[in-house]
Amino acid sequence: MAQMKYFYELTISSSPHAHTPITTQTIMRDVLIALAPALLGGIYFFGFRALAVTLVSVAACVFFEWAYCKITKAHCKIYDLSACVTGALLAFVCPVTIPYWTIILGALFAIVIVKMLFGGLGKNIVNPALAGRAFLFSWPVIMSTWVSVGYENAPGLLSTADIVTSATPLANMHQGMMPTDSIMDMFLGNVGGCLGETSALLLLIGFGYLLVRKVITPRIPVAYIGTVAVLTFLFPLGNDRIAWMCAQVCGGGLMLGAIFMATDYVTSPVTKLGQIVYGVGCGVLTVMIRYFGGYNEGVSYAILVMNCCVVLLDRIGRPVKFGAPRKEAAK
């Protein structure tokens, strides 16, 4: 009996037994750190309402995940920080003037319907933050009100009544014109747009951090942005090819989408070839929607559509089993 007692204290589990310090939590923490520069940029360009909207969104996402787990009596995993990332990304793809109740409903949709009902993190088919944004187009006027940048135009924390609206560079480009803002402004983020998407520079800093920490590989973002660059260079809607290409690449949510959303582990392919095809697909769809679509911006819908193709893209570029006959491998 004495021996049996010790036996029960052993933890018996199946292999692998090797441990890695990388967990979902550390990855998500790195993503949050990488998003920080863009948030600071958002606060600088649009005022403290940007911070407030982001915090509300993050809090709502975490709360809804916790509440869902409570109600369904499921194991609660809010400490993996994935809900925080979803909340931050959702806020980043909304205009800074969005009312708080709207972003809370967006968080509800993103977390409960898109993520938890499909089985939680790892089982969702599409990116929750982008699906939340798509759902928020239920209020199209709210989602297409763009405040002018600058300290004096910053919307109030509680009231957005007397804001100065402006056209975004994307709206200009959608009409086939060069944006009124300079390319430099667009690169730095000194233009109208969603809360966290305007500054290509700050997003690229986050990209660099993620690459250094090896959280993501450059395959999807490079394939995505490269495709958009090539297509817009080949088919410019103006006289200056280079300027048009730069404006398209820096404008709208392309950087944010390509770096932080298209690379979502759950909703992107696992094979190298699959990832490249996925990135190219996102790029082609983005350009098609920007050129021919009804909306100004195509990034979110392009990524959502490609998310749905991931199950197919995962089949291409699979490594051949060692020692498998060629014919069988082809099958």
* Sequence-separated (6 or more) residues with CB below 8 Å from residue 85: 28, 31, 32, 35, 129
| Rounded least distance, CB 294 to another protein, Å | 6
Q: What are phi and psi of 312, to 5 degrees?
A: -80, -40
Least distance CB 296 / another protein (angstroms): 10
Shortest Cβ 113–another protein spacing (Å): 7
Phi, psi angles (nearest 5°) of residue 49? -60, -30
Contact between 281 and 224 (Cβ < 8 Å): no
CA torsion through residues 310, 312, 318, 323, sign: positive
CA distance from start to end of the chain: 55
CB of residue 101 vs another protein: minimum separation in angstroms? 8
Q: Which residues contact 9 (CB under 8 A, 6 or more apart)?
A: none
In the complex, what is the shortest distance from the CB of residue 21 to another protein, in angstroms, rounded to a whole number? 40
The region that residue 120 occupies, defined by phi over 0 for left and psi between -120 and 50 for alpha, beta otherwise, is left
User: Whose Cβ is closer to another protein: residue 4's or residue 141's?
Assistant: 141
Please compute, for residue 153, the number of CA atoms within 13 A of its CA located in the half-sphere on the CB side.
Answer: 17
Q: Which is nearer to another protein, 7 or 292 (CB)?
A: 292
Name the residue nearer to another protein (CB basis): 56 or 246. Answer: 56
Of 131 and 202, nearer to another protein (C-beta) is: 131
Query: Looking at beta carbons only, is 2 or 141 nearer to another protein?
Result: 141
Pick 115 or 219: Cβ nearer another protein: 115
Smallest distance from another protein to CB 164, Å: 15
Return residues touching another protein (CB under 8 A): 101, 105, 113, 134-135, 137-141, 144, 175, 294
C-alpha 103/C-alpha 53 separation (Å) is 8
Q: What is the DSSP letter of 154?
A: P
